[in-house]
Chain A
Amino acid sequence: MTKIELTVDGSAVSDEVEPRMLLVQYLREKLGKTGTVIGCDTSNCGACTVHLDGTSVKSCNVLAVQANGRTVTTIEGLADTADGELHPVQEAFRECHGLQCGFCTPGMIMQAVDLLGENPDPTEEEVRLGMEGNLCRCTGYHNIVKSVLHAAEGAKA
């Protein structure tokens, strides 16, 4: 077992984990943060996307020990829950109906937040390219792209 200390969604956590434990497993199984989901076995789908020190990563392809000393933000820590309001990107997905079954949504939103952080005013093509590591089996992507563009518009207003 290896000792790790990290910050997850604003709270400091300290734990002993097996080195082989994946970050996504740690979040789901040890911390109960099941908002982050697993959609594949090949690190292709992006459903498990979280932020590690502020940038997006696929948490199925990171070991929990690699997050030692770092800060993790999951979909559960994105909104400022104190006032009960959704994060603007979550709100945009709701308004534009950017989901059907919702399985890809946590990863889509986390990647969209990263994308907009780097490029606050993207073109449609930049959104499609920036989200290429996130797969959706339902929507055909159309409303997902619309949601991200809507969130960017909202941030400008």
Chain B
Amino acid sequence: MTEILQAKDLHKSYKMGKSRLEVLKGLELCVNAGEFVAITGASGSGKSTLLHILGGLDTPDAGYVEFDGGRIDKFGAGQLNRFRNKMVGFVFQFYHLLDELNVLDNVVLPTMASVGSLGWLARRKRARKRAAELLEQFGLGERIKHKPYQLSGGERQRAAIARSLMNEPRLLLADEPTGNLDSETGNGILSVLQSLNRDGQSIVMVTHDERMAERAGRIIRLADGKIV
């Protein structure tokens, strides 16, 4: 199996007044292509911090992340933007959809952002078709014109997943995708992720819900800043 993601000796700490709060203390992690990995740990153990670092949204104090053999800390600004845009898809605990755009526009946003105005005009139709198909697939076919605030939590999370998949990323990073949902809706989201994984999508999911974690291919536990 080929490795898609590798974290080497990650350190991260936050300033807390005079002292420092060490969140990650030499964390090592390896994810293979096509894997579905669940990361669990107590609240405040640094799961979100880790996921942000893996997705290039945050930088570690020491150590590095390798994606497909390339170190993302060595990426230039343009490369890093392309990495965030094309290589990884992020699903946040709190959905993070843009309130001003409707569901469809939220989902096409990653494609829109990756091309210029002319490129967008050329690609617009195809992109909107793909977005509509994704939303259809997640059961939101009827809601594409709605604004995020008109959707339920579960619907928003599915829209967010659709957005993260828009540019067909190599790796899906999901931070507690079921954290704010009741167990039934959460189960639905997990089913979506599982079926994506069956189609070959690599996924790293953070959760503190053991039952959700069990549905992933591999469970990693985070404690005291390290994988245990």
- The answer to whether A and B come from one shared complex is no
